[in-house]
Amino acid sequence: MRWTPLVAAVLAALACALVPAAAAAADVTSPVTTCDAPVGWQRASFVVHFSATDAGSGVAAIWAAMDDGQPVQVGGPAGGSLEIPAPADHSFDGVHTLRYYSTDVVGNTETAHAAQLRVDTTAPAVSVQAAAGYAGRAVTLSFRVRDRLSPTARELSLVVTDAAGETVATAALGSVSTGERRHARWTPSAPGVYHYAITARDLAGNEAVSTAAPVTVKGLITFTIGRSVRGRPITVTRFGGSGRRLLVVGGVHGNESGAPVARQLVSYLLAHPRALPARIRIDVLACANPDGYARRTRGNARNVDLNRNLPTRNWRRRLDALNEPGAPGLTGGSSPGSEPETRALLALLRGRFDVVVSLHSRGGILDCSGPGARAIGRRMSALSGLPVGKLWYDPYITGSLGRFVPERYGIPIITVELSSSRLGAGMRAALLAAAR
């Protein structure tokens, strides 16, 4: 029985030695901490939740540190949380690094995890510029979004309202990178004053609405008033809506500068809608004699001088050398208004105008006929540099537009004898000033 106490003592000693040693060896591992930090941009304060597990002695504390700050305890064995601020004064805007870790009961410390927190309380800045335009043609506006933090703005949208505040167009403009200039187009169906507003939202959901200065969309229509002897269309481009009505006729004589200059006027007004004076409507019949223009002849395809074919009291079929100097072989037509080109012009004139300007070349004068014509001519002279005057053979001219317009309608007509086929700024200003 002597061995029994010994065995018991050895067993007891082993038990005493082994049990604490085995317990201490069981927890050399650190806790594991997870959190629910959001991935994207936040525009309001939010709470990050933590939870930690430990295989051995158990979680003692959860710690967190923001950016370069000191760690603070944010939780314990049951988990923890931390509120992330997003003050309206934008003072916490930016990308922050959240470090977090836990310790266990016996002092094991977890290697810190890091999460990025993105806070943006600042709305993007949108700038919009809209160009003037014409009804029926696309109007372009350009815009740019700047956002200090979010790299892109999304869900951009455009709303166009008319002067009465009615929405006339909306468009989704997609996403845009900050700083990038983009363009949008829309086609107004009617002239008027339009307001443009673009809404932009950044990745955090901050929203900004920006408006452009109101833009005037002017009227523009193109219509065909007839066809030439050879079937070519005779077209008019009408700029503007109401106001004083100016008709500019070019190309009655196909071998002169009237048609190219009238076309340059059309091109200019299309490219520069703001150049169109207010309360003025301008009809440009750029090429009244398309067959003659195609053949570079003074007359039309039937050798009729269209500027001798109008139904004036002095119309004549036969044109003598004084009536038509330097252009033998032309006639005034078989009857007044016998030519389809003339009839198209007559129909247009019945629509009523306040002033007519007819473009010819190359006399280098402004021939003024009808009531008030000289005052208009003097204004145009000051702008264009061409003198007011008469062609030397004026008394012999029959059936001309310059005679017909005052005779039939009692309105002024300025026959411009151009000295250049290029429409310079002075002549352009003079033509636009004719309607004032």
Which residue lies nearer to Zn ion by CB, 218 or 253?
253
Span near Zn ion by CB under 5 A; candidates 41-49, 168-176, 253-261, 308-316? 253-261
Angle of the 258-271 helix axis to the 425-433 helix axis, nearest 10: 80
Span near Zn ion by CB under 5 A; candidates 247-255, 276-284, 340-348, 379-387? 247-255
Which residue lies nearer to Zn ion by CB, 159 or 391?
391
Which residue lies nearer to Zn ion by CB, 249 or 276?
249
Burial (CB < 10 A; 0-12, 13-18, 19+), residue 373, is: buried
Span near Zn ion by CB under 5 A; candidates 40-48, 80-88, 181-189, 255-263? 255-263
Note whether 308 binds Zn ion by CB under 5 A.
no
Give residue number: closest CB to Zn ion: 360
The residue with tokens 């939740």 is 49
> Residues with Cβ < 8 Å from 24, sequence gap 6 or more?
none
The residue with tokens 């609405």 is 209
Span near Zn ion by CB under 5 A; candidates 47-55, 90-98, 249-257, 275-283? 249-257
Choose which of 43, 253, 281, 302 interacts with Zn ion (CB under 5 A).
253
Note whether 403 binds Zn ion by CB under 5 A.
no
The amino acid sitting at 190 is: A
Build a one-symbol-per-residue string for 86-105: x at contacts with Zn ion by CB under 5 A, - elsewhere.
--------------------
Note whether 144 binds Zn ion by CB under 5 A.
no
Checking phi first, is residue 141 left (phi over 0); if not, alpha (psi -120 to 50) or beta? beta
Q: What share of the chain is helix, strand, coil (3-state, %, to 5)?
A: 20, 40, 40
Q: The tokens of 397 are what?
A: 């001219």
Instruction: Compute how many other C-beta atoms are within 10 angstroms of the C-beta atom of residue 177.
Output: 12
Build a one-symbol-per-residue string for 356-375: x at contacts with Zn ion by CB under 5 A, - elsewhere.
----x---------------
Minimum CB separation of residue 256 from Zn ion in Å reads 5
Tell how strand 113-119 and strand 41-42 pair up.
Answer: parallel
Span near Zn ion by CB under 5 A; candidates 75-83, 98-106, 200-208, 252-260? 252-260
Which residue lies nearer to Zn ion by CB, 124 or 402?
402
Which residue lies nearer to Zn ion by CB, 253 or 428?
253
Which residue from 37, 38, 39, 42 is spatially nearest to 205, judged by alpha carbons?
A: 42
Which residue lies nearer to Zn ion by CB, 180 or 320?
320
Q: The tokens of 405 are what?
A: 């317009």
Angle made by CA atoms 416, 345, 264, in degrees to the nearest 5: 45
Chain contacts with Zn ion (rule: CB under 5 A): 253, 256, 360
